């Protein structure tokens, strides 16, 4: 008997949602970021969104939230599929202080909310990423609570943290409070584009990973944007 008719039609299969990679950018928008730093940061963020959108897998799986902090913290982009973001966010410099802790706490709250939404919708997701960028020292004590909170999540394997200092004024000691696994790195000058290119490539690799696969960071690539001693 012929087996030519033994065929499965696509209509008889199911489609599950793509696994998501939630990434939250927690960015300093304080007064000291005014001028070139903010311009370069915005250019980097634009490149980041563009790079993710240009990769078919990352485009379907990456979800980026953006939180800015100065006197207070504000979520300027909530987590959503990249397809729904028509233009990358424009981060405005508010001229205020550096409430780093408020920014991180808000970023973590948003991540928790998004994870609950994934769970309720039956969407699988990868370890969330927190990218923390600041050029100064915290001007409130909120970071004393946010730091241990972030580290606890990191120790439990529930988050990957990238603390990045911008310029010589960045308080690397404070940034180190947020991660026990990834030491804070200082950006080479205002080389935001190289950092965000590296970040997008790292997201692409994670979004393509399979169960049981550990994705190692491109350590060599870090040299392209970080000041390494």
Partner 1 sequence: MTASAQWSAAAASVIGRQHELAEGRCEDAWAIARHNLGPERRVLALCLCDGAGSATNGWAGAHITSRYFATWLGANYADLARCPSRAASRASAILRRMLRRAARAKRTSIKSFACTLAALVVADDDRWMAFHIGDGAIVGRVDGAWIPLSIPSKGEFANVTYFVTDDDAPDSMRVRWAGDSANSGQPTAFALFTDGVEGSLINRQTGEVAPALDYVSDWLRVHSEDEVSAALARQLEEVFRGRTGDDCSLAVLSRLSVETYAGAERPCAELCPRDAAGVALQCAQVKLRHSRRMPNPPVGA
Enumerate residues 26-85 that contact partner 1 by CB under 8 A.
57
Of 173, 210, 219, 220, the one binding partner 1 (CB under 8 A) is 210
What token pair was written down for 134?
């600041």
Segment interacting with partner 1 (CB under 8 A) among 24-32, 73-81, 147-155, 211-219:
211-219
Of 116, 145, 152, 158, the one binding partner 1 (CB under 8 A) is 158
Of 34, 60, 215, 222, the one binding partner 1 (CB under 8 A) is 215
Query: By CB under 8 A, is residue 124 in contact with partner 1?
Result: yes
Q: Which residues of 3-159 form beta strands (DSSP E)?
A: 21-28, 62-69, 73-77, 129-134
Helix axes 36-54 and 192-207, enclosed angle (nearest 10):
30
Contact between 28 and 69 (Cβ < 8 Å): yes
9: helix, strand or coil: coil
Separation in Å, CA 203 to CA 3, 84, 224: 43, 18, 17
Distance CA 18, CA 216 (A): 22
Helix axes 143-155 and 100-121, enclosed angle (nearest 10):
40
For residue 3, the minimal CB distance to partner 1 (Å) is 5
For residue 224, the minimal CB distance to partner 1 (Å) is 23
For residue 187, the minimal CB distance to partner 1 (Å) is 28
Distance CA 177, CA 120 (A): 32
Compare residues 15 and 87 and give the one whose CB is closer to partner 1. Answer: 15
Segment interacting with partner 1 (CB under 8 A) among 25-33, 119-127, 140-148, 171-179:
119-127
For residue 19, the minimal CB distance to partner 1 (Å) is 4
Q: List contacts with partner 1 (CB under 8 A).
A: 1, 3, 6-10, 12-16, 19-20, 57, 121-122, 124-127, 158, 206, 208-215
């Amino acid at each position: 008997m012929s087996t030519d008719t033994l065929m499965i039609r696509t209509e008889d299969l199911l489609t599950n949602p793509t696994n998501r990679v939630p990434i939250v950018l927690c960015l300093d928008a304080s007064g000291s970021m005014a001028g070139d730093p903010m311009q370069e940061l915005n250019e980097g963020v634009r490149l980041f969104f563009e790079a993710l959108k240009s990769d078919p897998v990352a485009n379907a799986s990456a979800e980026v939230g953006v939180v800015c902090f100065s006197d207070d913290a504000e979520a300027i982009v909530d987590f959503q599929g990249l397809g729904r973001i028509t233009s990358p966010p424009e981060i405005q410099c508010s001229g205020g202080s550096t409430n780093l802790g408020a920014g991180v706490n808000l970023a973590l709250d948003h991540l928790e909310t998004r994870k609950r939404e994934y769970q309720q919708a039956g969407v699988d997701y990868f370890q969330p990423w927190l990218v923390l960028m600041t050029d100064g020292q915290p001007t409130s004590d909120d970071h004393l609570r946010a730091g241990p909170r972030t580290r606890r999540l990191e120790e439990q394997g529930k988050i990957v943290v990238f603390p990045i200092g911008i310029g010589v004024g960045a308080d690397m000691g404070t940034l180190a409070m947020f991660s026990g696994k990834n030491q804070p790195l200082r950006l080479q000058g205002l080389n935001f584009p190289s950092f965000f290119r590296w970040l997008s490539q790292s997201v692409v690799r994670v979004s393509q990973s399979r169960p049981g696969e550990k994705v190692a960071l491109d350590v060599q690539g870090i040299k392209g944007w970080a000041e390494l001693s």
